Amino acid sequence: MAQNSSRETFGSRLGFILAAAGAAVGLGNIWGFPTQAASNGGGAFLLVYLILIFIVAFPMLVVEMAIGRSGQANPVDSMRSLTSHSLGKKAGALVGWVGLSVPSAVLAFYSIVGGWIICFLLATFTDLLGIEAASLWLKGFSVERNLFGTLIFYFLTILIVRGGVKQGIEKWSTRLMPALFVLFGILFIYIMMQQGAMEGLKHYLIPDFEKVLDRKLILAAMGQGFFSLTIGGCSMLIYGSYLSKKENLPKMAMNVTLVDTSVAFIAGLVVMPAMFVAMNKGVEIYAQDGSLLSSDTLVFTVLPMMFDSLGMFGQLFAMVFFLLLTIAALTSSISMLECPVALVSERLNTSRGSTSWVLGGIIAFFSIIIVYNFASLFGLVAMAATQYLQPTAALLFCLFGGWVWSRNGKFKELQQGYPEFSQSLFAKIWPSYVRFVCPVLVVTVIWASFA
pLDDT of residue 289: 67
CA angle in degrees (0–180, nearest 5) for 331-336-337: 100
- Helix boundaries (H) for 193-248: 197-205, 215-228, 235-241
Of 39, 115, 100, 75, nearest in space to 378 by CA: 115
How far is Cα 275 from Cα 431, in angstroms, rounded to an integer?
A: 43
- 105-148 pLDDT, tens per residue? 999 999 999 999 999 999 999 988 889 999 999 988 899 999 99
Residue 286 bridge partners (DSSP): 292
Q: How confident is the model at residue 340 (pLDDT cuts 50, 70, 90)?
A: very high
Ranges of each domain in the chain: 13-281+292-449
Residue 292 bridge partners (DSSP): 286
How far is Cα 258 from Cα 448, in angstroms, rounded to an integer?
A: 25
Residue 1 has pLDDT above 50, yes or no: no
> For the residues 196-210, what does the mean pLDDT come to?
88
Q: How confident is the model at residue 287 (pLDDT cuts 50, 70, 90)?
A: low
Highest mean pLDDT among 20-24, 159-163, 308-312, 361-365: 361-365
CA-CA-CA-CA torsion sign (260, 265, 270, 275): positive
pTM of the entire structure? Answer: 0.88
- 364-395 pLDDT, tens per residue? 999 999 999 999 998 899 888 888 888 899 99
Q: How confident is the model at residue 3 (pLDDT cuts 50, 70, 90)?
A: very low
How many residues are listed for the chain in this entry?
A: 451
Which 3 state secondary structure label does DSSP give 420?
A: coil
How far is Cα 31 from Cα 151, in angstroms, rounded to an integer?
A: 22
- Tell me how far apart the terminal alpha carbons of the chain are, to the nearest angstrom: 41
Fold of the 13-281+292-449 domain: Hydantoin permease (1.10.4160)
Q: In sequence order, what DSSP letters do the residues of 70-130 get, joined into one string?
A: HHTS-HHHHHHTT---HHHHHHHHHHHHHHHHHHHHHHHHHHHHHHHHHHHHHHHHHHHHT
When comparing pLDDT for 117 and 228, which is higher? 117
Other Cβ atoms less than 10 A from the Cβ of 316: the count is: 16
Q: How confident is the model at residue 78 (pLDDT cuts 50, 70, 90)?
A: very high
What b/e string do you get for 181-190 counting C-beta neighbours within 10 Å, with b at 16 or more?
A: eebbebbbeb
Residue 327 has pLDDT above 60, yes or no: yes
Residue 72 has pLDDT above 70, yes or no: yes
Q: Is-contact 330 156, C-beta < 8 A?
A: yes
CA dist 391 → 61, 70, 231, 380, 397 (Å): 13, 22, 8, 16, 10
By mean pLDDT, which of 177-181, 195-199, 375-379 is the weakest? 177-181
Residue 292 phi/psi, 5-degree rounding, is -80, 130
What b/e string do you get for 94-121 counting C-beta neighbours within 10 Å, with b at 16 or more?
A: ebbebbbbbbbbbbbbbbbbbbbbbbbb
Which 3 state secondary structure label does DSSP give 283?
A: coil
Of 360, 323, 328, nearest in space to 341 by CA: 360
